[in-house]
Structure 1
Amino acid sequence: MATSGYIFNERPPIGLLVAQAVGITASTFLFGQNAAISYMFVPAVLQAPAPLAVRQWKKVFDIGYANGPVLALISGAAFAFVAYKQDPSSLPFRFNVAAAVLVPSTVPFTFAFMVPTNTKLDEKLDSFAGTALTDKEAEAGVAKEETTHALLDKWATLNLARAGIIGVASILGVWAAVDKREAVSSSFKLASGANRMG
């Protein structure tokens, strides 16, 4: 409907709004979770002896493993649904398609780049089964790049890259949601003083 040079769209269907909210919420949660693990958790864990550090990492890893892939797929599906309902020539459509691809792409990213490090850390955990958690000499003689701390640092870097992928998708999803340039005409102007009401 057009009124006084302005174009107003009808309110989107509730299903579309719910899908948009799910996609944005799931992706931003995943971004925050992954970024916090790499930025705050791992640096703190690196202060602990290797047997304790790897056990702490495993606890956080298991929590992320339980919800990360599911949330990535749900978020991707939600963004894809929103894109399906949009004009293919619009910017929000393109942003939602990109978000729909990026968030779930973290699953193959994990398998391609992170699983080898995950496996090494799991092996470290097993090797420390009978070692005291406070044993600072548990890895005496181990090559520096193969120590628990080096592996945790590598894992955190890869995890931060994964968070970056999700962060970009989240930004695109939010941008698509708030892109309302079609709601006002190009003749819209801000006036000052007594003329501000037109």
Structure 2
Amino acid sequence: MAEQLSTPIRVAQVVGLTCSAALAGYIGGFSIGTVPSLKFAPAHAIAKQWQTAYEIGKSTAPFVALTAGLTWSYLATQGSMSTASKQPLLFNSNAFALYSASAVLVTAIVPFTLIVMKPTNDKLHAKADASEESKAETDETVDELMNKWYWLNVVRASLPGVGAVVGAMAVVGL
């Protein structure tokens, strides 16, 4: 009969899975819920409200990603230690690779935001900060930027989502 995993390992697995899946839903919620609801407002208001939502996400999501990333990294090191010490700590030999991949995927939201999404984010911030006189000429551009941001954010939400699935594969021993 296989030995049971230690409580710290089980807690880390739950934290990694929960943070990763919750982060995917949280980020995805901005595309699924926030962006469509903003379409009913004037362009300048859309940009302002997007900016508020962006600041909320910016103040929370990276910390959840860091928590999940550190948790998956901890599990990866425990998996590699268990192989070296022949302890039945984790279920399979793929655990190190799967936990490591989860750590990279979940924390990838930060460089993805700073590198891939930054040009669109900067343009939306500029629209939000624009003066009242420029409101009339920004309607079409704001709509185009919001559509682009929507899809970029869907991709960003998929990173921790895939990280959660890969982490779950490690947890169940696939």
**Aligned-partner SS, 2:107:** coil
**Aligned-partner SS, 2:4:** coil
CA contact (8 A) 2:44 2:139 kept: no
Correspondence for 1:138:
135
Correspondence for 1:37:
30
Unaligned runs of at least 5 residues, structure 2: 84-91
Deviation at 1:177, TM superposition (A): 1.3
Higher helix share: 2
Per the normalisation by structure 2, the TM-score is 0.85
Correspondence for 1:85:
78
Correspondence for 1:159:
153
Correspondence for 1:65:
58
Correspondence for 2:87:
none
Deviation at 1:160, TM superposition (A): 0.6
Correspondence for 1:24:
17
Correspondence for 1:11:
4
Unaligned runs of at least 5 residues, structure 1: 1-7, 132-136, 182-198
**Aligned-partner SS, 2:136:** coil
1:121 counterpart = 2:124: yes
Correspondence for 2:86:
none
Please say which structure displays the higher CA radius of gyration. 1
Residue-by-residue CA offset, 1:162-198 (whole Å, 9 max, x unaligned): 111111111011121122x7xxxxxxxxxxxxxxxxx
Question: Which aligned runs of 4 or more in structure 1 are off by greater than 4 angstroms?
Answer: none
Aligned length, in residue pairs: 164
1:109 counterpart = 2:112: yes
Deviation at 1:98, TM superposition (A): 0.7
Deviation at 1:92, TM superposition (A): 2.6
- Of residues 86-95 and 118-127 in structure 1, the stretch that sits farther from structure 2 once superposed is 86-95
Correspondence for 1:175:
169
